Structure 1
Amino acid sequence: MSDAPNREPDRGIRSERPEEAGDPWTRLPSMAPATPSAATPARTGQAGAPTASRGGTAPVPGRVRTLTDPAAAGPVPPGGRTVAPSPLDPGATRDPHGIHRALREEYPLTYDPLLRAWVLSRYADVAAALTDERFTHGHRPGDPPCARAHVDVDVEALRSVTERTAYVLARRLAERPQADLVADFCHWLPAGTVAAAVGVPYRDMMRLVRGRAAGALAGECGGQIAVREKALASFLGNVLDDPGQVAALRDAPAGLVARAWTESLRRDPPVQIAVRRTSAEVPVSGGIVPAGASVALLVGSAGRDPERFREPDRFDPFRDDPGQLTYGPGFCPAVLLAGFEAEYALRALFTAMPRLRLADGFRPTATGLITRAPRSLIVRPGG
């Protein structure tokens, strides 16, 4: 790793267009409004009641957007809206949680013409769809295929290069009066660990990342740098935003840091929406998703489902109901790297800057529709 890399332009989340969002395991359909195909409608029970529901109690008839006939929806209102709120509604980039809450509670299965997909928002449905073989065309690092694809990975070597890279970056910030951890740390650490792991000079690696060639060097999963960058920014934002968490995690053992990392992935996943396609009919909350349909999985909504998580909006590394959907449970270098980056980011930053804190008056603000993270984390290295 070069001792003083030239500053690259900030590449925070600048565009909300899905094709520019930088997410490697989400491919959204065209954004043009559409209605579901008449040949593959979602099915509901008798008199419009859903065939599946939450907690064994059917929602109020008419509150779930599951159409037996696309024409029954009537004309699409101006702006391409359905009755249900859309994850792409204006304002969702700053605060999607109200929309997610309405979808979970009232519209667990709805067709969104902006996404051109059926939308699932409850934890049970999203978690199942991410691994159910009836949902195709998707892959997360750590999914079962990873365990078969990744071989000859030197875990201790990955740990070593991550630790070294984190400490070099942290020391460069220690003497500054103010720094932006997103631009000056989170932006560089994931690329730096991949560069060191594959033996590519750091400056060359940054150019290769811009050219979307990182995957060719480090494999499909290891090259997913943008997702790890956003996840790390959210993690550091969650920790630094609460002085109590800073005190608890400053000298915490690796196990507690890992729990805090999992908690951040749950509460603020870097990938908010993943798209899959069904190969068969699938019963879900609110109805049955037809075969051959595009389905938008609201990972961000699932992580805050109160049916699965106690006080879901709270960042709590000590919770007794942990879980996250960003990564699968299988072995994968990208999952290892992400965890190592979170652990050594904290250790390096607190070692180099024992009094590190957010700048006066600054609060982390996440933005983004498809991928989501703070654009900046302004800190005072000297306290």
Structure 2
Amino acid sequence: MTEAPQRPVGPPVSDADPFAPDALEHPEPLHRALRAAGPVVYLTRYGVHAMARHEEVHAALTDWQRFESGSGVGLANFRHEKPWRPPSLLLEADPPRHDAPRRVLRELLAPPALRRLREQWTAAAESLVGDVVCAETEFDAFTELAGAFPLRVFPDAVGLGPDGRENLLPYGNMAFNAFGPVNDLVEADAHRVGELSAWVNAQCAREALREDGIGARIWAAADRGDLTHEQAPLVVRSLLTAGVDTTVHGLAAALFAFATHPEQWQRLRERPELARVAFDEAVRWQSPVQTFFRTATTDVRIAGVLVPEGSKILMFLGAANRDPARWHDPDRFDLGRDPSGHVGFGMGLHQCVGQHVARLEAEVLLSALARRVERIELIGRPRRHLNNTLRSWASLPVRVHTAV
């Protein structure tokens, strides 16, 4: 006697709004509720399926054939809606359109290139930490360290000039907000869309980039035929969009973690080789990128739930990174943990191509700080900056006690 085929069942239903201010400020209660509800939950407010458990999120991220990025990684469905700007060739494209841009960037950001940057960035980190710590023992670690360091070294590496770099974080904030619904956060940026987009697009032009930077090498790849000349500025734009905000807020997460877990800071000072592990654990623990969408390319069954072709699927990366089925004591920041397998940088074909650049920035900054500072403590309430996609910061007031 053969078993009857498994019948699809309807998913649990929730009217929760993951883009409401309270949920963006404190996402953990919603994440716990979604994980407890089931492997797939239908969010009635937006008409999307959602996944918050590590197993399902990881599987969807690595299955680009059935869960495509080309229809947009936000709520908007590019099958039916025109994007507000040309789609990213890295985030919002699938093979074959995705292949050449990723191959070029992977080569440009390979270990030999990072080894060349390490010496420069180590010196820049020592200089910045020395200036900040020597000038005052109480300061805003978000603006003075987490925000300042990437905005100093990464645009230099890309080949940007010194003027206008203050536009990078507002542009990134606008771009990541646009992945969510058209709510108050998106409307607040509406008056600057044209201005910020024009500035960023101008920085991606060949003539705006120094000849020794990554941006110029992208254009050189187009000259060789590895890319088209139409693709080159879009690849540079992807670097400037995804390569700043996520690193800034990942560094802020690490500094917040150490200020609230002093025993882990001592562990890092005793074992400075843990600096990269510390950054990955901070990314797991705080998940600067909280959510991304995919679109089902076919009817797909997930744990018995049928998700129809064309459906938008909201993946809660932050919830997956604190799934107790995957991580022991997941709400704790712990340098004794192996954080590999977290989905804070995505996973699979669309995994962040610049993640090793972010790790290098974090390693040199945290190492420079650990050499000079015995203890970091909060001296005020940290403030979040709400964003539809990012777990971002506005302020992180700290006091540091310098090493003798």
Q: TM-score, normalised by structure 2?
A: 0.67
- Paired position in structure 1 for 2:226: none
2:312 to 294, 298, 303: 294
Match of 2:268 in 1: 249
Matched, 1:336 2:362: no
8 Å Cα contact 1:241/1:364 also seen in 2 = no
Which residue in 2 is equivalent to 1:347? 367
Give the alignment partner of residue 195 of structure 1, picking from 155, 158, 166: 155
Residues in 2 aligned to 1:239 and 1:286: alpha-carbon distance in whole angstroms: 42
**Contact 2:318–2:344 (CA<8 Å) still a contact in 1?**
no
Aligned length: 306
SS where residue 22 of structure 2 aligns? coil
Q: Where does 1:193-342 land on structure 2 (aligned, <5 Å)?
A: 193-207=153-167, 211-213=199-201, 218=215, 219-223=236-240, 224=242, 225-254=244-273, 256-285=274-303, 287-320=305-338, 322-327=340-345, 328=347, 334-342=354-362
CA 332–135 in structure 1, closer or farther in 2 if over 3 Å, else same: closer
Structure 1 residues 379 and 366: alpha-carbon distance in aligned structure 2, compared to 1, 3 A threshold: same
SS of the residue corresponding to residue 202 of structure 1 reads coil
Deviation at 1:107, TM superposition (A): 3.9
Q: Residue type matched to 2:303 in 1?
A: S
2:262–2:375 Cα contact (<8 Å) kept:
no
1:108 and 2:39 aligned: yes
CA distance in 2, matches of 1:196, 1:321: 30
Contact 2:384 2:393 in 1 (8 A): yes
Q: Residues of 2 paired with 1:355 and 1:115: CA distance?
A: 48
Alpha-carbon spacing, 1:106–1:207, altered in 2? closer, same or farther (3 Å):
closer
| Equivalent residue, structure 1, for 2:59 | 128
Contact 2:49–2:313 (Cα < 8 Å) also in 1: yes
Distance between the aligned counterparts of 2:9 and 2:322, measured in 1?
26
CA contact under 8 A between 1:182 and 1:377: conserved in structure 2?
yes
Higher helix share: 2
Show CA shifts across 1:330-373 (max 9, x none).
8976212210111111122233x42342244x354656452103
Q: 92-101 vs 198-207, which deviates more? A: 198-207
Letter of the structure 1 residue corresponding to residue 366 of structure 2 = L
Deviation (angstroms), 1:90? 5.3
Check whether the contact 2:124–2:153 (CA below 8 A) recurs between aligned residues: yes
Q: Which residue of 2 aligns with 1:149?
A: 104
Deviates more, 1:234-243 or 1:84-93: 84-93
Amino acid at match of 1:337: V
| Residue number in structure 2 paired with 1:56 | none
Which amino acid in structure 2 is aligned with residue 303 of structure 1? N
Alignment of 1:31-180 (within 5 A): 46=7, 49=9, 64-65=11-12, 83-89=14-20, 91-132=22-63, 133-137=65-69, 138=73, 139=90, 145=99, 148-150=103-105, 151-153=107-109, 154-174=113-133, 175-180=135-140
Per the normalisation by structure 1, the TM-score is: 0.70
- What RMSD in Å do the two structures reach over aligned CA positions? 3.0
Distance 1:290 1:158, change over 3 A: farther
Work out whether residues 355 and 382 of structure 1, in 8 Å CA contact, stay in contact via their aligned partners in 2. Answer: yes
Rounded to whole Å, the distance in 1 between the matches of 2:118 and 2:56 is 34
Q: Is the contact between residue 297 and residue 310 of structure 2 (CA under 8 Å) also seen in structure 1?
A: yes
Shift in Å, 1:227: 1.4
Question: SS at 1:374's partner residue?
Answer: strand
- 2:115, 2:151 → 1: CA distance? 18
Structure 1 residues 329 and 285, CA gap change in structure 2 (3 angstroms): closer
Conserved? CA contact 1:215–1:222, under 8 Å: no
Q: After TM superposition, give the deviation of residue 220 of structure 1 in Å.
A: 4.5
The more displaced of 365-374 and 123-132 is 365-374
Which residue of the partner structure matches residue 180 of structure 2? none
SS of structure 2 residue aligned to 1:323: coil
Q: Distance in 2 between matches of 1:226 and 1:260?
A: 18
Flag the 1:296–1:332 CA change in 2: closer, same or farther, 3 A: closer
Identity of aligned residues (%): 27
Structure 2 unaligned blocks of 5 or more: 74-89, 172-198, 210-214, 216-235
- Aligned-pair distance for 1:45? 5.8
What SS does structure 2 have at the residue aligned with 1:91?
Answer: helix
